[in-house]
Chain A
Amino acid sequence: MENLKAIIESLLLVAAAPLAVDRIQALLPQADSREIRAVLQRLASEYSERNGGFVIREVAGGYQFRTQPQYREVVKKMLQPSPVRLSRAALETLAIIAYKQPIIRHDIEQIRGVDSGGILRMLLDRKLVRVLGRREIPGRPIIYATTRQFLELFDLKDLRDLPSPKEIEELGRPPRQADGESAS
């Protein structure tokens, strides 16, 4: 399709959520998904080269127009959004769920060392966390996982886009001697 780029651009403008390749494909049966992906990438680089007020970001499995972070202050002034700030405790809980999902509350609390019920409820309310079901063990505890909204909020393509546990390990862990240092 010759005007495929313009068509996809128009779809991106009006989409209410990150627009996935599959969704575009369903709307444009003539175009194949590789072509659509290539066009999306070309559009994204065009916008970033233009260096304007917004760019195309790949988030939560789709593509979306998003404003450039450096203009956050004036945009916030206009929109006056309710603050999204999450407490440190909420961020920690969310990080545990993101990296260890699917996970039950007991295992979350095991890592944090404190009760996390209230925080979990808040994360559920804000739809950053969802219930996947219940584990078939005594007490049938609820299994938690993160949501698409979580990916959208943190500007993540998908869960693999999270910094890998290795990277974090290297930052958090002091270099450890192989063995022999067992004296107290």
Chain B
Amino acid sequence: MTEDGYKVKLENVFEGPMDLLIHLIRKNEVDITDIPIALITRQYLAYLEWLKRMNIDFAGEFLLMAATLAHIKSRTLLPSHSSDADEDPRLEIARPLLEYLQIKQAAEELAQRQLLGEDTFVRPPSAPDDWGDAGEETIHVGLFELIDAFQRILENIAPDHRVDLTTERISIKDRITEIVDVLEAKGSITFTELFASESDKSDVIVTFLAILEMVKLCLIRVAQHLPTGIIRLFYL
């Protein structure tokens, strides 16, 4: 059975140990919840041997899976002493395999949808920038313009508000989520609007850091409107 070789075409090379296991389970037509561990492990190791003979480097994940399989086999052989923990040791591998199968199925379903740009198309947007009236210009803002604008907002805060270093009242992560929510709904927001509700210096700083983080992660684009000087954030 194991000697009939693995005629693996290049496009068939397994993505990882899970892929290989699923292939073996299907090939042997066995039930995922009732895997013959010894048989599958033998074929699995034979495949790794084949990879080695072909001088193909395989990742450590393949070896980890081999160890897991061997461990499961050893546990099925040992008599179980505690009556409460006599769960089938093969579940350790069956559960993740089932989950992986589900995801594979989900991925296939996604691929079969009417993909935009592949199966269905929309009218290309007529203007490169979709805010403001036609003919208005925007420039891309550098870090220094952003810091200048931030400085002006800081100046508008009453001086007796001190930065409290001990408590983080709103985390940058939360602020990013909030800003993303606003941007999802509106598409864009002005720099000052973001700070409108905050009076506390630490909140302002968190918001500013959140904006910088979002720019770094390419979540947003920042542009300044030439005639008014208003800086606007766009959701990408």
A116 — nearest CB in chain B belongs to which residue?
B16
Determine if B153 is an interface residue (Cβ-Cβ < 8 Å).
no
Could you say which residues of chain B place their CB within 8 Å of the CB of A169? 102
Could you say which residues of chain A place their CB within 8 Å of the CB of B32? 173-174
Could you say which residues of chain B place their CB within 8 Å of the CB of A69? 114, 119-120
B180–A154 contact, CB under 8 A? Answer: no
Could you say which residues of chain A place their CB within 8 Å of the CB of B217? 124, 130-131
Determine if A117 is an interface residue (Cβ-Cβ < 8 Å).
no
A153–B115 contact, CB under 8 A? Answer: yes
Bound form: Cα–Cα A76–B102 in Å: 32
A154–B113 contact, CB under 8 A? Answer: yes
A137 to chain B, nearest CB (A): 12
For A95, A113, A153, A174, which residue has the most chain B Cβ atoms within 10 angstroms?
A: A113
Bound form: Cα–Cα A107–B117 in Å: 30
Could you say which residues of chain A place their CB within 8 Å of the CB of B218? 124-125
Determine if A51 is an interface residue (Cβ-Cβ < 8 Å).
no
Given contacts A68-B120, A112-B18, contact A131 B115 (CB under 8 A): no
A162 — nearest CB in chain B belongs to which residue?
B106
Bound form: Cα–Cα A95–B102 in Å: 10
Bound form: Cα–Cα A167–B205 in Å: 46
A52 to chain B, nearest CB (A): 14
Bound form: Cα–Cα A163–B105 in Å: 10
How many pairs, one residue from A and one from B, have CB atoms within 8 Å of each other in the complex?
161
Could you say which residues of chain B place their CB within 8 Å of the CB of A171? 105
Determine if B66 is an interface residue (Cβ-Cβ < 8 Å).
no
Chain A interface SS verdict (over half): mixed
Bound form: Cα–Cα A90–B123 in Å: 27
A93 to chain B, nearest CB (A): 8
Given contacts A132-B173, A172-B105, A174-B33, contact A114 B15 (CB under 8 A): yes
Bound form: Cα–Cα A115–B130 in Å: 38
The stretch among A3-11, A31-39, A41-49, A59-67 that forms the contact with chain B is: A59-67
Given contacts A91-B110, A163-B106, contact A113 B118 (CB under 8 A): no
- Which residue from A75, A94, A174 sits with its C-beta under 8 Å from B121? A75
Instruction: Encode contact with A along B23-35: 1 for CB under 8 Å, 0 otherwise.
Output: 0000000011110
B17–A182 contact, CB under 8 A? Answer: no
Q: Which residues of A contact B (CB under 8 A)?
A: 13-14, 16-17, 22, 57, 59, 64-69, 72, 75-76, 79, 81, 83-86, 88-89, 91-92, 94-96, 98-99, 110-115, 124-125, 127, 130-134, 136, 143, 148, 152-156, 162-163, 165, 168-169, 171-174, 176, 181-182, 184
Q: Which residues of B contact A (CB under 8 A)?
A: 15-19, 31-34, 37, 59, 61, 65, 76, 86, 88, 90, 96, 98-111, 113-123, 125-127, 130, 171-174, 176-177, 180, 184-185, 187, 217-219, 236
